[in-house]
Chains A and B, each alone.
Chain A
Amino acid sequence: KAGVTQTPRYLIKTRGQQVTLSCSPISGHRSVSWYQQTPGQGLQFLFEYFSETQRNKGNFPGRFSGRQFSNSRSEMNVSTLELGDSALYLCASSLRDTLEDEQYFGPGTRLTVT
């Protein structure tokens, strides 16, 4: 069974631009969560989706948004990029509608904002 895939793997953007990152969960997984990882702040929760519904959102500004499609694939968008948005963005999927399930992480998208 294929793992979680994220595209693109690397991205360089300029301040003020916007970016869209994509995540395909493991087949059959309906829950998708997004995290931002930086050396200073570690792994921070962005949002979680289940069956196309955003169930919770972390403490990030409204510039960060996401959605989930009927096939469970998910995208996150960051508008008006700032230098501080440079990070590894990780997507994780899990099988059931419960946070007790282990999270299967993708390899991440490394975003650099210049």
Chain B
Amino acid sequence: SQKIEQNSEALNIQEGKTATLTCNYTNYSPAYLQWYRQDPGRGPVFLLLIRENEKEKRKERLKVTFDTTLKQSLFHITASQPADSATYLCALLDTGRRALTFGSGTRLQVQP
């Protein structure tokens, strides 16, 4: 069956460190993968999109990698800040259903 897995346990790190979140998928052949941030009680906010032919993408303190062999994407936040505390969701395109399928998200807590 198709699955998108993100670490369900919260990730706690110290301010200034690099946070690394993982998104693994099975039985998908996504053309691209997106990452979103969601704060409590609010809708997700788009962060980055990476295509299957791209290995890495950066935006300010954010970096995403995409390994189609491992079927995995890593999301990094460097020099993390307490304001980065949120739930981070990965999503990939299910071409058969014409829908973005989301992982369950990983909650990141950055301690000052």
Contact = CB atoms under 8 A, between A and B. Distances in A.
A103 B49 CA distance: 11
B6 to A, nearest CB: 9
A42 B34 contact: no
Contact of B105 (A42, A48, A56, A105): A42
12 contacts: A4-B43, A35-B102, A43-B89, A45-B97, A48-B98, A55-B98, A56-B98, A58-B97, A99-B93, A105-B45, A106-B43, A108-B41
A33 interface: yes
Given A99-B93, A102-B34, A42 B102 contact: yes
A99 B102 contact: no
For chain B, what secondary structure do more than half of its interface residues adopt (helix, strand, loop), or is it mixed? strand
**A-B pairs with lowest CB-CB distance, top 3:** A105-B43, A102-B46, A43-B102
Interface string B36-77: 100001111110010000000000000000000000000000
Interface in A78-95: 90, 92
Interface residues of B, number: 23
Contacts of A105: 36, 43-45
Contact of B44 (A43, A44, A110): A43
Contacts of B101: 45
Contacts of A107: 41-43
Interface residues of A, number: 23
Interface of A: 4, 33, 35, 42-45, 48, 55-56, 58, 90, 92, 99-100, 102-108, 110
A92 B102 CA distance: 13
A48 B44 contact: no
B97 A103 contact: no
Contacts of A42: 102-105
Contacts of B45: 105
